[in-house]
């Protein structure tokens, strides 16, 4: 909720008070993790791009990404010494991986047609990202059972790089295919069943232009 | 210049000798006095003895102390499989611990070998079949107590004659009514060359 408020505040500030900016873009869609082989994380990404310069070519921009997670299901085995209980049970494990990223980058125009639809490449060589994993075992009786090799919660902040292909059409609409690297951060030496997420996002968005060149 | 290179070499050599090993201890979120129940061969064992958390000792140069697994020949119809390790109060890392070690004793056949040992994976021994013993100092206690032991997972990484076994399990027990061991869990890695069976 706080992050939603942050996004809305940011959007409002930029839209109403920053006269020199070229555009603000907000987009959303679906995201699929390509870094975890055994289990994959799906998200609903919400991205905000702000391009402050009015120069249509070669301008840098800022991007904020918040990925709202779907729950990823897995299983874990738990064991007990209690002779009155089943000695082994399988528990349903759920993991939610939250992602927030703030990046800076530049865009490279690739193509523009007669209807002013355009295709360009966003390159974001530097970003700071936080990935937070919340692990839960459903119906886990922690008084009687011990989970073997349990997954645990993890929260790390580190550096990411990302890249996206963007297609602008119908003046203000855009389609974006966005790939972000996994977090470059220390995961610790305890083995976990999951790795840092590398989201591949497909999203559709809207460009709010201001200070448009004629 | 030669002297400088020599000094750098000496410093690097000293750093190599003083390099530290990290203790394998991963606190359980539900019970921070215990390490998580794992089967990665971390050579960590934790348990409560009369409510106090104990762990196997640690050395900065050698890591977590290793367990001893051996078969003890007896005059009875069965031999005894003994799994033992040293302990200290968790968090103290001082030599002033009260108990010196724990020893789990299980009756096995006279022909017990390493394949039989692998077959213990998933087997539970209740207090009628196994005994648990606390050693005071270096002298084994004459009055072993009773134990419940569950070898949750025993596996090896190869079929070679020299191989490594990873053993993880749960245990609890008591010696009379004065010494109660609860919530024990171990995760060991043992080389076949250290076994006498």
Q: What is the pLDDT of residues A118-137, one digit of tens each?
A: 998 999 999 999 999 999 99
| Chain A residues whose beta carbon lies within 8 Å of the beta carbon of residue B38 | 148-149
Q: What is the pLDDT of residue A35?
A: 94
Residue A55 has what DSSP assignment?
-
Check CB contact of A84 with chain B, cutoff 8 Å. Answer: no
Q: Report the pLDDT value the prediction gives residue A6, as an integer from 0 to 100.
A: 54
- What is the token pair recorded at B44? 């960590």
Whether A81 and B172 lie within 8 Å, measured CB to CB: yes
Please say if the pLDDT value at position A14 is more than 60: no
pLDDT at B4: 65
> What is the mean pLDDT of the segment spanning A4-29?
60
The C-alpha atoms of residue A99 and residue B100 are separated, in whole angstroms, by: 48
Confidence class for position A20, pLDDT limits 50, 70, 90:
very low
Q: Residue B38 and residue A142: Cβ atoms within 8 Å?
A: no
A153: nearest CA partner in chain B: B29
Chain B positions in Cβ-Cβ contact with residue A189 (cut-off 8 Å)? 22
B90 has pLDDT over 80: yes
3-state secondary structure of A130: strand
Residue pair B56/B45 in contact by the 8 Å Cβ criterion: yes
Q: Identify the domain containing residue A57 by its residue range.
A: 28-69+95-135+156-209
Higher-pLDDT residue of B154, A40: B154
Q: Greater confidence, B172 or B141?
A: B172
List the one residue out of A157, A11, A145 whose CA is nearest residue A78.
Answer: A145
CA B96, B98, B103 angle in degrees (round to 5)?
125
**What residues form DSSP beta bridges with A147?**
A78
CB A27 within 8 A of CB A203: yes
Rounded (5°) CA angle B133-B134-B139: 105
What is the structure's pLDDT at B96? 53
B51: nearest Cα among B31, B27, B75, B74 = B31
Q: Is the pLDDT of residue B170 over 60?
A: yes
What is the mean pLDDT of the segment spanning B6-30? 71
Q: Do A190 and B124 touch (CB under 8 A)?
A: no
Confidence category of residue B16, pLDDT binned at 50, 70, 90: low
CA distance linking residue B113 with residue B192, whole number of Å: 11
Helix (H, G, I), strand (E, B) or coil at B84: strand
Task: Work out the minimum CA distance from A39 to partner chain B, whole angstroms.
Answer: 20
* B140: closest CA of chain A, how far (Å): 26
CATH of the domain at A47: 2.40.160
Q: Give the number of C-alpha atoms closer than 13 A to the C-alpha of residue B115, restricted to the C-beta side.
A: 4
d(C-alpha A129, C-alpha A125), whole Å = 13
Confidence class of residue A184 from pLDDT cuts 50, 70 and 90?
very high
Collapsing DSSP states into helix, strand and coil, what is residue A198? coil
The mean pLDDT of B46-52, rounded to a whole number, is: 94
Give mean pLDDT, residues A34-63: 86
> How far is B106 from B129, CA to CA, in rounded Å?
7
Chain B, nearest residue to A152 by Cα: B29
Mean pLDDT of chain A: 88
Per-residue pLDDT tens digits for A73-132: 999 999 999 999 999 999 999 999 999 999 999 988 888 888 889 998 999 999 999 999
Assigned domain for A111 exists: yes
A87: nearest CA partner in chain B: B124
DSSP A71: P
Q: What number is the ipTM of this complex?
A: 0.86
Report how far apart the first and last C-alpha atoms of chain B are (Å, whole number). Answer: 57
- A140: closest chain B residue by CA: B30
Place of tokens 């171990």: B186
Structurally, how many domains does chain A consist of? 1
- The pTM of this model reads 0.83
Query: What φ, ψ does residue B128 adopt, rounded to 5°?
Result: -80, -15
Enumerate residues 6+ apart whose C-beta is below 8 A from B69. B81, B82, B83, B167, B188, B190, B194, B195
The answer to which of B43-47, B48-52, B60-64 has the lowest mean pLDDT is B60-64
C-alpha A167/C-alpha A117 separation (Å) is 7
Check CB contact under 8 Å for A81 and B26.
Answer: no
Q: Contact B120/B137 with Cβ under 8 angstroms? A: no
- Alpha-carbon distances of B61 from B14, B41, B44, B101, B125, rounded to whole Å: 13, 18, 16, 21, 35
Question: Does residue A148 sit at the B interface (CB-CB below 8 Å)?
Answer: yes
> Is A112 part of any domain?
yes
Task: Evaluate if residue A12 carries a pLDDT over 50.
Answer: no
Q: What percent of chain A has pLDDT over 70?
A: 86
Residue B79 has pLDDT above 90, yes or no: yes
Pick the range with the lowest mean pLDDT from A150-154, A158-162, B7-11, B110-114.
B7-11
| Residue A192 Ramachandran class (φ > 0 left, ψ -120 to 50 alpha, else beta) | beta
Residues of B with CB under 8 A from a CB of A: 22, 26, 29-30, 36-40, 124, 126, 148, 150, 152-153, 168, 170-172, 185
Q: For A139-150, how does the pLDDT look when each residue is reduced to its tens digit (9 = 90+)?
A: 999 999 999 999
Provide the pLDDT confidence category of residue B93 given band limits of 50, 70 and 90: low
Per-residue pLDDT band at A13 (split at 50, 70, 90): very low
Given a cut of 80, whether residue B10 has pLDDT beyond it is no
Structure tokens belonging to residue B107:
């009756």
Least confident stretch, A31-40, A200-209, B30-39: A31-40
Q: Is position A9 within any domain?
A: no
Contact B38 A146 (CB under 8 A): no
- Give A79-124 as a DSSP string: E---TTS-SEEEEEEEEEEEEEEEEEEEEEEEEE-TT--EEEEEEE
A81 and B38 within 8 Å at the Cβ level: the answer is no
The alpha carbon dihedral of A199, A201, A207, A212 has a sign of positive
Give the confidence band of B134 by pLDDT, cuts at 50, 70, 90. confident
CA atoms within 13 Å, Cβ hemisphere of A165: 6
Which residues from A are below 8 Å from B172, CB to CB? 81
Contact list, B152 vs chain A (CB under 8 Å)? 79, 148
| Alpha carbons A49 and A59: distance in angstroms, whole number | 12
| pLDDT of B117 strictly over 50 | yes
- Tell me which long-range contacts B139-142 makes (C-beta under 8 A, separation of at least 24): B140/B103, B141/B175
Residues of B within 8 A of A80 (CB-CB) are 150, 170
In the three-class reduction of DSSP (H, G, I as helix; E, B as strand; rest coil), residue B166 is classed as strand
pLDDT at A15: 43
- Is pLDDT at A179 greater than 90 in this prediction? yes
- The reported pLDDT for the residue numbered A19 is 37
Q: What whole-number percentage of chain A has pLDDT above 90?
A: 70
Size of interface A-B (CB pairs under 8 A): 41
Average pLDDT value for residue range A9-16: 45
Tell me how close the Cα of B94 comes to any Cα of chain A, in angstroms. Answer: 25
Would the pLDDT of B72 be above 70?
A: yes
**Which chain B residue shows the shortest CA-CA distance from A135?**
B29
Instruction: Choose from A78, A79, A81, A188 for mutation: most chain B CBs within 10 A.
Output: A81
Is residue A18 situated within a structural domain?
no
- What six digits make up the tokens of B178? 């004065």
């Amino acid at each position: 909720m706080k992050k939603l408020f942050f996004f809305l505040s940011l959007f409002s500030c930029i839209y109403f008070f920053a006269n020199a900016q070229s555009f603000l873009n907000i987009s959303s869609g679906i995201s699929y993790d390509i870094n975890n082989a055994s289990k994959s994380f799906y998200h609903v990404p919400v991205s905000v791009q702000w391009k402050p310069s009015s120069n249509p070519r070669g301008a840098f921009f800022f991007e904020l990404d918040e990925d709202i997670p779907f729950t990823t299901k897995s299983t874990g085995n738990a064991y007990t010494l209690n002779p009155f209980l089943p000695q082994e049970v399988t528990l349903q494990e759920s993991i939610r991986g939250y992602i927030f990223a703030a990046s800076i980058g530049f865009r490279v125009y690739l193509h523009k047609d007669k209807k002013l639809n355009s295709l360009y490449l966003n390159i974001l060589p530097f970003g700071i990202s936080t990935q937070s994993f919340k692990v839960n075992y459903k119906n886990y009786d922690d008084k009687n059972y011990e989970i073997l090799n349990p997954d645990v919660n993890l929260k790390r902040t580190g550096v990411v790089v990302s890249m996206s292909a963007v297609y602008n059409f119908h003046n203000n609409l855009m389609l974006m295919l966005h790939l972000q690297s996994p977090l470059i951060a220390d995961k610790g030496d305890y083995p976990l069943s999951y790795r840092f997420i590398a989201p591949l996002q497909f999203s559709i968005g809207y460009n709010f232009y201001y200070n448009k060149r004629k | 210049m030669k002297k400088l290179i020599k000094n750098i070499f000496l410093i690097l050599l000293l750093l190599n000798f003083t390099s530290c090993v990290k203790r394998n201890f991963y606190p359980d979120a539900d019970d921070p006095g215990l390490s998580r129940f794992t089967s990665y061969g971390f050579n960590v064992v934790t348990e409560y003895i009369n409510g106090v958390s104990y762990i196997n000792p640690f050395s900065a140069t050698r890591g977590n102390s290793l367990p001893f697994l051996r078969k003890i020949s007896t005059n009875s119809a069965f031999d005894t499989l003994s799994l033992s390790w040293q302990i200290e109060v968790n968090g103290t890392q001082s030599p002033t611990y009260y108990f010196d070690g724990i020893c789990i004793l299980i009756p096995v056949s006279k022909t017990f070998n390493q394949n039989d040992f692998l077959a213990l994976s998933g087997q539970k021994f209740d207090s009628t079949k196994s005994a648990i013993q606390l050693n005071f100092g270096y002298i084994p206690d004459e009055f072993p107590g009773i134990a419940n032991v569950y070898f949750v997972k025993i596996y090896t990484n190869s079929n070679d004659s020299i191989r490594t076994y990873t053993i993880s399990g749960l245990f609890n027990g008591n010696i009379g009514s004065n010494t109660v061991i609860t919530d024990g869990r171990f995760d060991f890695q043992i080389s076949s060359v250290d076994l006498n069976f």
